[in-house]
Amino acid sequence: MAVDFHEAWENCLNIIKDNVPPVSFKTWFEPIVPLKLEENVLTIQVPSPFFYEYLEEQFIDILRKTLRKELGAGAKLEYNVVMENHSALSSKPVTVVFPTQNKTELRNKPVPMKTSNDEYKIKNPFVIPGIKKLHVDPQLNPDNNFTNYVEGECNRLARSAGMAVSNAPGKTAFNPLLVYGSSGLGKTHLVQAIGISVKETFPEKVVLYVNAVKFQTQYVEAVRNNNTNDFVHFYQMIDVLIIDDVHDFAGKEKTQDTFFHIFNHLHQAGKQIVLTSDKPPVELQGLEQRLLSRFKWGLSADLQTPDFETRVAILRQKIYKDGIELSDEVVEYIATNITNNIRELQGALISLLAQSTLNRKEITIELASEMIDKLVKNTKREISIDYIQKVVSEYFGLPYEILHAKSRKREIVQARQIAMYFSKRMTKSSLATIGSLIGGKDHATVLHACKTVNNLIDTDKRFKNQIQDIERKLKL
């Protein structure tokens, strides 16, 4: 009697559901769609290459055992992977035969390139000119490893993807891997953990971590010294390139162009690229579309604000590592009251320990309460250009998007100028960056906007009051 493929997969799910956590079942098994069952081969559709890779990495054993139980020892599994190729969606079948578990590569194989990187001596911007490839300092903090990175609901996807990348750099479907989230949520720790893990597993690979500002500084220096080719060749020989805060490339067209060519070379050669930013690619402004499209080739994984349980776990790990004794009551009090990000959480703990040591006081709930009240009161909001635009547009009752439109209406132009004025005053961004993020303008437009606002403040009392109101809202 023929077995219906819907029934076969439903029976498999019933077994799997009893053997994996509910969150994992909902995330990784509910989206799967059974397609057919022919000659003991069950075909299932999964929504992305990353989804396929993750199932193979984490759940291959339970899939194998379940299928054998349901269909017999000769059971085979075929994935139908939904592949995104520009604007078109297509499906690509991938067969997995049990028990060999030989995985089929999903992505296109890189074009072989004859190189002699070990022999080719170039200027290394991190050490000294003429140093060989294998001696590049990866610029990694050994404390930023996976062991010290506490897993929670807020970071599970990003951490899992990071571990998969570190186990097979350049050979997974998530290349590049872009980790995004607000400041202080652990982006730098996670991507450095990937680099450290790669160096431990593949010591022969060249790994490099660099933030976007340092990359930009090195590029400017290379242009000034007429050795741009050395700069590009150096980055093209990296096996795992980690660029932190890639959003800082906004408005820097020449740097973006150079990074675009480095990115293409590394990706074509099957090298791994890992990036971080404060927003997902679709929300990044001031970056060229051709660069943003490449950021979308792999996986974009977000880091969210840690929940209470994760905050407690982070504090307890820090306490254990530093050999400190702290009551559960104090730990939970800190975790309850410091909720924004991990950096503030660890800062609160360090401040509490400092207060206790310097004043020779026992760490009690009262001391924790006193210290946190001061810390929270004195903590200033980190003001960004994006936040300024939101406050200004809300103040004038305008849609946020209108500041980026080409409209020449007086009220819109003035709101845009005010946003530029406050961005220059309250952030460290360059005029070019401010202009690129507010309507795609150049630095001269920003300079003109600031002069216009200053003149109106001096001559128009009503306008001056509006500026003061907006400033108060920005500082709340």
pLDDT tens track for 61-72 = 888 889 888 888
Q: Where in the chain is the domain with CATH 3.30.300.180?
A: 5-97
Q: Where in the chain is the domain with CATH 1.10.1750.10?
A: 385-475
Q: Where in the chain is the domain with CATH 3.40.50.300?
A: 138-302
What does the chain come to in residues?
Answer: 476
Q: Where in the chain is the domain with CATH 1.10.8.60?
A: 308-378
Answer whether 346's CB lies under 8 Å from 354's CB.
Answer: no
Output the DSSP codes for 294-308.
HHTSSEEEE-----H
pLDDT tens track for 287-345 = 888 899 889 888 888 888 888 888 888 888 887 776 777 777 888 888 887 777 787 77
What is the CATH number that goes with domain 5-97? 3.30.300.180
The CATH class of the 138-302 domain is: alpha beta
pLDDT tens track for 417-451 = 999 999 998 887 888 888 888 988 888 899 999 99
**Burial annotation 198-226 (CB, 10 A radius, 16+ → b, else e):** bbeebeebbbbbbbbebbbebbeebeeee
Answer whether 101's CB lies under 8 Å from 92's CB.
Answer: no
Distance in angstroms (rounded) separating the CA atoms of residues 190 and 467: 40
Answer whether 373's CB lies under 8 Å from 338's CB.
Answer: no
Distance in angstroms (rounded) separating the CA atoms of residues 343 and 248: 20
Question: How many other β-carbons are positioned within 10 Å of the β-carbon of residue 149?
Answer: 19
pLDDT tens track for 247-289 = 989 888 899 999 999 999 899 888 999 999 988 888 888 888 8
pTM of the full predicted structure?
0.55
Q: Which fold has domain 308-378?
A: Helicase, Ruva Protein; domain 3 (1.10.8)
Which of 303-312, 343-352, 374-383 shows the lowest mean pLDDT across its residues? 374-383
Answer whether 46's CB lies under 8 Å from 52's CB.
Answer: yes
Q: Is the pLDDT of residue 129 over 60?
A: no
Distance in angstroms (rounded) separating the CA atoms of residues 233 and 8: 54
Q: Is the pLDDT of residue 221 over 50?
A: yes
Tell me which architecture the domain covering 385-475 has in CATH. Orthogonal Bundle (1.10)
- Of the candidates 252, 299, 253, the one whose C-alpha atom is nearest the C-alpha of residue 275 is 299
How many angstroms separate the first and last alpha carbons of the chain? 71
Cα 369 from chain centre: 33
For the chain, give the mean pLDDT. 80
* CA separation, residue 232 to residues 54, 253, 263 (Å): 34, 16, 10
Q: Is the pLDDT of residue 82 over 80?
A: no
